[in-house]
Structure formats: structure tokens, C-alpha cells
Amino acid sequence: MSYSYDDQNVFARILRGEIPCKKVLETEHSLAFEDIQPKTPHHVLVIPKGPYITYDHFAQEASDAEIADFTRAIGQVCDQLGIGPGRGGDGYRLIANAGPHGVQEVPHLHVHILAGRPIGRMIARD
Ligand code: AMP
């Protein structure tokens, strides 16, 4: 089965400049912006500019340059926010939801960077 990207999704529209975002960082292959409904004091989404739906899609089909750029963009945002424990910050959580079981709402890969308060345990039990 191959991946089928929907270019009308909201992040594709942000990338095309059709709707605004609060930009945090832009690199050659990635964009970071504030989540419109922040769950924590810092809630930034980092997306690749390419048409990738999920992390596994990106890992399989993106170029090495895109993957390196995306990984470094996440690190750069953590640095900008001052949240990296190695740099005196209090830490953060990265989340990349995928598909129905991951409860992914927007079908364009995004990594959530959540920080600014204690976030609790990783997964709540049902
Ligand atoms: P997910 O469930 O991982 O797909 O999360 C999608 C995230 O995108 C949610 O946290 C939304 O609040 C966020 N979101 C949806 N539309 C926008 C938008 N126009 N600008 C910024 N964040 C958005």
C-alpha cells in the first residue's frame, strides 16, 4: 500500500501561506509554529515542508537532508524555548500521533513539543 497525501489539510494550507500561523522557526525543509490550542505553556508543532503524512512515511521516503533538517529544527526550537535539561531547562515531551489509533487529526506529519509545566506520566491507563 502506498501513502496518499491530502494537500487540502490545514498544515499544507499553512505551508502555502493560505492561512496564517505564529511562526517559531523556519528552515530549508521544516517549519515550526505555535499550536492553535496549546495544551501546555509551550506547545509548538514542527512539520516538514514535504508532503509526508506520518513519521513512518517520512522515515521511509524523505531524503537524508530533510530528515537531518527536521531533527535539527526540533532541537533548535527546544533551544529557543530554553527547555532542554542539558541546558538548564526543565524538560519537555515530543509526541507524533499517527493514524486512528494514534488519534492524528491533521494528516501531515507534525511533532508536538510540549513544555512549561509538569506534563504527567506518558500514557493514562484506561
Ligand atoms: P494531532 O491530533 O496530533 O493531529 O494534532 C493536531 C494539532 O494541530 C492539534 O493540537 C491542533 O490544536 C493543531 N492545529 C489545528 N489547526 C491548527 C492551526 N491552524 N494552527 C496551529 N495548530 C493547529
Please indicate, yes or no, if residue 85 is contained in any of the structural domains. Answer: yes
126 CA distance to ligand 1 centroid (A)?
24
- pTM for this prediction: 0.97
Residue 106 Cα to ligand 1 middle (Å) = 7
Contacts of residue 46, defined as CB under 8 A and 6 or more positions apart, other chains included, come to 25, 30, 31, 32, 70, 73, 74, 77, 110, 111, 113
pLDDT bucket at 67, cuts 50 / 70 / 90: very high
| Residue 93 phi, psi (nearest 5) | -130, 135
Domain presence at residue 68: yes
Ligand 1: residue whose CA is nearest its atom 18: 36
How far is ligand 1, taken at its centre, from the CA of residue 35, in Å? 6
- What is the tens place of the pLDDT at every residue in 72-87? 999 999 999 999 999 8
**101 given a catalytic annotation:** no
Q: How many structural domains compose the chain?
A: 1
Residue 6 lies in a domain: no
Q: Does the residue 111 lie in any domain?
A: no
At residue 1 the predicted structure's pLDDT band, cuts being 50, 70 and 90, is low
Domain of residue 79: give its range: 62-90
Strand order in the sheet with 42-48: 23-26, 30-34, 42-48, 111-115, 92-95
Residue 82 inside a domain? The answer is yes
- Tell me which residues have their CB closer than 6 angstroms to ligand 1: 10, 19, 21, 35-37, 45, 97, 103-106
Establish if 54 belongs to a structural domain: no
Classify residue 77: in a domain, yes or no: yes
